[in-house]
Amino acid sequence: MMIEGYTLPKIAEELKIHISTCFYWRHKILFALHSLGFEGLKGIVESDETFFKESFKGRKVEGRDPKERGGRDPKRGISSLKIAVVVAQDRNGQVVVRKAGRGRVRAEEIDAVIGEYIDPSALLCTDTATNYKKIALVKGLKHETINVSKEGYVKKGIYHVQHVNSFHKRLGDWMDRFQGVATKYLDNY
């Protein structure tokens, strides 16, 4: 039921349990899934970040009016109001997805998210963001940057970030099913 994206009330009704029990079970299951069958990122590894609006869903925050669903942030583009989620995916389908911080991500934040998962012999494929150049240098990784405006989407016939950008789209569609996820639970999804 969870994979199909059913809402908590529908799952609670199907399983004949209270909605709060359903909520806590969902997060226990999602947390447990993080540790299953992960081998690390090898070969060509694509990485980029995507952004979600910060959410305090279900909590009252002092000094802040509640946001309306679907409302716009007061600042356009990347700002401290957005939560950065770093996605790294190799060509074997292994994926690491974790929130990294607010606004533009620094190299240290990216390293904290994906650094331990990337094999030292991997080749890192990214856009031209300088924070990834620093990661590659510190980790001793081979690094290919893709400048879409100059080189197109594919460089040398093999280097691109299309898999990770496709993952961003699917992740956004997946998150939309839940009508907003509290930032503190973002890593579980």
The structural domains of the chain, ordered by start, are 1-36 (no CATH), 38-188 (3.30.420)
d(CA 34, CA 28): 10
pLDDT tens for residues 108-155? 999 998 888 899 999 999 988 889 999 899 889 999 998 887 878 888
pLDDT tens for residues 43-60? 999 999 988 877 666 666
pLDDT tens for residues 25-47? 888 887 777 666 567 899 999 99
d(CA 107, CA 181): 26
- Lay out the sheet containing 123-126: strands in order across: 95-102, 82-90, 44-53, 123-126, 142-145
Token pair in block for residue 65:
């009016």
